[in-house]
Amino acid sequence: MSTARAKKIKLLIFDVDGVLTDGSIWLFPTPAGVEPAMQAALAKRADAGGFGVVTRDMIEVKGFHAHDGTGISLARLGGIKTGLITKRISETVRLRARDLRIDYVLQGIANKRKALEEILAQENLSAEQVAFVGDDIIDLPIMRACGFAIAVANARQSVKDEAHLVTEHAGGQGAARDAVEYILQAQNKLEAATASYLEEHKPVEESPAV
């Protein structure tokens, strides 16, 4: 059943905290160059709570796993678009998403299901063509709405109970890679995507010295 669902996926969306990270949130002094737009987005939600740190002096930092980064690159090479939908707002997430060429980066989103509907309309996709990877109860509405719901290994039990697939690895420790490889394998694209990745990262041969 999970394989049949995975075969239909054209867009894979991740939560961030607890999925692409282990859920830890670190606070550091703000470096120079943080975009004013990010500060403005946080300021709009200053009284709401739970969206991020609203200050000119501190920045919210997260740690990402290299295996997951490779996984997202494999998804791209396999023709699967990727996205992030998260309630919190972090400059670190924006930078990581740009580095990985993630198609959709939606931060400060309390209603993830509504965000999904907007993406579906923009991409002209049906819900059954979208997979979502989550870990906590805030992810349940969007997991229930998409075609392939995936929970990370350390997700809350109530989330695992409603998932079509539970990853082998925990959030921030390769769970995203598990999700990507499962989908690509179901679509018979994993081998080709891996070959493309290796070609893309092949060392450049230096010309012999004259």
**186 alpha carbon, distance to own chain's centre:** 20
> Tens digit of pLDDT for each residue in 103-131?
999 999 989 999 999 999 999 999 999 99
Measure the CA–CA gap between 36 and 3, rounded to whole angstroms: 44
Residue 48 has pLDDT above 60, yes or no: no
Q: Is residue 49 part of a domain?
A: no
Position 109 in a domain: yes
Asked, for residue 159, whether it belongs to a domain, the answer is yes
Count of structural domains within the chain = 1
Instruction: Decide if 145 is inside a domain.
Output: yes
Residue-level pLDDT at 61: 80
How far, rounded to the nearest angstrom, does the alpha carbon of residue 197 sit from its chain's CA centroid? Answer: 19
**What's the mean per-residue pLDDT of the chain?**
89
- Per-residue pLDDT, averaged over 50-74, amounts to 80
The CATH number linked to 128 is: 3.40.50.1000
Q: Which residue range(s) make up the domain with 96?
A: 2-23+64-200
**Mean of pLDDT values over 7-23:** 96
Domain assignment present for residue 42? The answer is no
Enter the pTM of the model.
0.84
Torsion angle of the four alpha carbons 136, 79, 174, 134, in this order, in degrees rounded to the nearest 10: 0
Give me the residues paired with residue 85 across strands.
106
Tens-place pLDDT, residues 147-197 = 999 999 999 999 999 999 999 999 999 999 999 999 999 999 999 999 999
Q: Residue 136 falls within a domain, yes or no?
A: yes
Tell me the average pLDDT across 45-73.
75
Q: Give the mean pLDDT of 191-210.
A: 81
Residue 56 has pLDDT above 70, yes or no: no
The secondary structure of residue 32, as a DSSP letter, is T
What does the pLDDT read at residue 54?
A: 47
- Inside any domain, residue 56: no
Question: Three-class SS of residue 126?
Answer: coil
